[in-house]
Amino acid sequence: MHGEKFRYLIVGVWNTIFGYGVFLLLLALLGDPIRVWSSSSNSVVALVGGHYYLVVQWLGWVVAVPQSTLTMKYLVFKRGGRALPQIGRAFFIYLPAQALSSVILWASVSVLHLVPQAGALVAIFVTTIFSYLGHKYFTFRVPLEVGDVYGLDREKSESAAQERSEAERDAQTL
């Protein structure tokens, strides 16, 4: 299992670099043409033009999610199955993080007055921390025993889980 975790880490770093690279590329190619829309008399078009970096971020996300999903599928988990439905599910899983990332990018640019390139790095940093905490305390938390109160009986739950794990290992060696 350690091999899978290591591959997950390496592929995760690659996927982050790839996604940021796509953002930078699209920003360079599409940023100015979209930003021109900010002078439009149509308020919706002007709003989009004024927040061109968010448009670019979402376009980059659409490109990055399939790449991320395929690298996870083939290099980390080495699973079969049809790629297209898996990519669709990945969009659903990544959507909350992308929404948070957009809010952070907007705040970084509009409130902190950072350039979009730096704002995207802030968003990556913050969403990485939230993702880690979410996985640690939600996705991969130690299940509570019946009657345990979260937080109060945490040490007991972790100790019991460790004892069960040790007992299972001992039983397998017999």
- Read off the pLDDT of residues 59-69 as tens digits, 9 standing for 90 and up: 999 999 999 98
Do residues 102 and 58 make contact, with C-beta atoms less than 8 angstroms apart? yes
Do residues 48 and 55 make contact, with C-beta atoms less than 8 angstroms apart? yes
Do residues 86 and 108 make contact, with C-beta atoms less than 8 angstroms apart? no
- Read off the pLDDT of residues 49-98 as tens digits, 9 standing for 90 and up: 999 999 999 999 999 999 998 998 898 888 788 889 888 888 888 899 99
What is the model's pTM?
Answer: 0.75
